Amino acid sequence: MLLLWPSLVGGGYPLARDLVFTPRPPFTLDTLGLGAEPPRAVPLDAIVWLGSWLVGGAVLARVALLTALLLAGWGAHRVLPSAPLASRLLLGGLAVWNPFTVERLALGQWALLLGYAALWWLLPAVVAALVRRDAPALGRVALWTALASVTPTGGVAAVLVVLVTVLVRGRDRCGAALVALALVIQLPWILPGLLGASAQRADPDGIAAFAARAESGAGVFVSLLGLGGIWDGSSVPASREGAVTVVTAVLLVGGFVALAARSRSRRELAVWREVLVLGAIGLAMAGGTSVPVLGDGLAAMMDLPGVALLRDAQKWVLLLAPLAFTATAMLLSPLARQVRLGVWPAVWVLSAMCLPFLLIPDGAHHVSSTLRPVRYPPDFADIRRTLDGGHDGAVLVLPWRSYRVFTWGNATSVYDPASRWFDREIVRDDTLRVGDLTVSGESRRARAVSSVARSGVLDPDAVKELRSAGIGWALVYVDDPASDDLELAGLRPVAGGRDVLLYSLGEADAVDGPGAAAVGVVVAGDGIVVLLLMASLGAVLTGRRRVIAPPMTPRTCYSDDVFKGE
């Protein structure tokens, strides 16, 4: 609640950095991942569409943000069922309040945090499935994998969690079934990634632009060991720029050493081998692009499908998080066992809660500028009504840039919300500027019209060219200072007002879409996953009804019957 405070107390919609919510996002080819851009938000867009349709985007935003953090804290404390309360609370606190969540929240990447939170539940679920080998246990694995896989990054992380757990303790048919299950759940983004209209080659410069960043003079790997090191300096709290980075890393490494040295710690953390392997993989993936040879090698392989997923390297420290936080939390265990506080465990609770806060005291303040909701100008709703009743054609967004800063919004750059408002294909500049670096986008449609759009001159010849490219509308953000340089002579706004204007370019020519076969394959893949998840949910619910169990506590849930059954 402390982290999410601005979004919980203010009205409106979160709109900053990558955090974009609108009242009713449309369902388009982009939602399926078959638009002009790579399926980076698949199946997330479909889930947001469904959730917004049910409860509205404003409510969904709050629920989604809160759910991600609560699930992380709740799931984390269950991983140490036999540890003292203080250690479990510290673990829950660290899982929520740490450099990774704060920095990614500041960047607005809530879906990545949802995937991170699901991993805390997925790992024990896989272990339980390998022991129990029944339908409800398999169903839980499917459901947690699906939650983690709302984005491709979370999906890859989930597959790695399942794969590593199976390799460590269950190399048999059940293990193979679990890996296959996790892979099938990735179909919603794998299929459009292979069949979509976006360019297959991502810009190799993205590797350097999005490589992990040193947050202090101690270097990149020290930042990564402390679960920080995000590529964007403006997402890093000021408190992380100094010695705290080193202190955090030392604390976490101390936890690793203690875990390795103390057999009791390893007994308390039944999945210590899994988290150790996952941590090593996560650290290697996060820091790999910062090593010149590896970074250059990866840049040369950007033609290969899926390699672009690796370019924002620091996000893979989410695989290191279980090892780092459990090991650190267990440092408190010996002390908590020796010092008895009678009926006042609140002392331990407060102490355990304070440590994460002390490591990033400005965490809440830092993310507030991203989370503070804004109210959209009425122009958006007006334009949506016009487009809904208007002629065919995609919408070209001007001035030609990818991220924007609105005078009516937060004082931070934000992803263009047009695609989340209007039921049309939105053609926008997808070039990313990271400081002085420029990373080319992958939309073929944007590339086709970029010269006209960048010039800002929509004379009759330019309009004709745009219409032949399937573009029938131009959307202009009036508050953008570059809008003064646009030349729209002869065009008359048909909707909007002071902040956003919509111009009609006339009926656009039809352009080739992804094709019925590609749509059919993707929809079939989505259907398989939906059916699989419904069956999994049914198995879990049926299994819960059949079991007449003693009261469920963290100890009986995840310790005695599961971890000792290996």
Partner 1 sequence: MLSFLSGLSLPAVITGFAVPAVVGVIVATVTNVALVNSTTGAPSGDDNPANQAIIVYGAR
Residues forming the site for partner 1 (CB under 8 A): 1-2, 5-6, 85, 107, 209, 213, 231-235, 343-346, 348-350, 353, 364-365, 368-369, 372, 401-413, 432-435, 437, 479-482, 551-555
| C-alpha to C-alpha distance for 329 and 80, rounded to whole angstroms | 9
Nearer to partner 1 among residue 344 and residue 548 (C-beta): 344
Shortest distance, position 208 Cβ to partner 1, whole Å: 9
Q: CA-CA distances (angstroms) from residue 442 to 75, 303, 307, 493?
A: 37, 12, 13, 30
- Please state, in angstroms and rounded to a whole number, the distance separating the CA atoms of residues 325 and 275: 10
Residue with Cβ nearer partner 1 (81 or 175): 81
CA distance 500 to 345: 56
Minimum CB distance to partner 1 smaller for 342 or for 389:
342
Pick 296 or 465: Cβ nearer partner 1: 296
Q: Nearest distance from residue 482's CB to partner 1, in Å? A: 7
Report the nearest approach of partner 1 to the CB of residue 362 (Å).
Answer: 8
Of 371 and 532, the one with the shorter C-beta distance to partner 1 is 371
What's the min distance (Å) between Cβ of 5 and partner 1? Answer: 4
Closer to partner 1 by CB, 97 or 144: give it.
97
- The position carrying tokens 């690796």 is 310
| Choice between 155 and 295, CB closer to partner 1 | 295
Least CB distance from residue 410 to partner 1, whole Å? 7
Cα 181 versus chain centre, distance: 21
Buried b (16+ CB within 10 A) or exposed e, 223-249: bbbbbbbbbbeebbbebbeeebbbebb
* 149 vs 239 by CB, closer to partner 1: 239
Cβ neighbours of residue 358 under 8 Å, at least 6 residues apart? none
Nearer of residues 248 and 412 to partner 1, judged by Cβ: 412
The nearest distance, CB 198 to partner 1, in angstroms, is 18
Distance between CA 426 and CA 414 in Å, rounded? 16
Helix (H, G, I), strand (E, B) or coil at 13: strand
N-term to C-term CA, the chain: 38
490: number of Cβ within 10 Å: 10
> Shortest approach of partner 1 to residue 405 CB, angstroms?
4
Distance CA 424, CA 421 (A): 9
Residue type, 449: V
CB neighbour burial string for 450-487, b if at least 16 within 10 angstroms, e if fewer: bebbeebebeeebbebbbebbbbbbbbbbbbeeeeebe
CB neighbour list of residue 136: distance below 8 Å, 6 or more residues apart: 539, 540, 542, 543, 544
In the complex with partner 1, the residue whose CB is nearer, 15 or 168, is: 15
What is the closest distance, in whole angstroms, from the C-beta atom of residue 43 to partner 1 in the complex? 24
Q: Are the beta carbons of 192 and 32 closer than 8 angstroms?
A: yes
Report, in Å, the least distance between residue 236 CB and partner 1. Answer: 10
| Residue 202 beta carbon to partner 1: minimum distance, rounded to whole angstroms | 15
Amino acid (1-letter code) at residue 528: I
CB 168 within 8 A of CB 277: yes
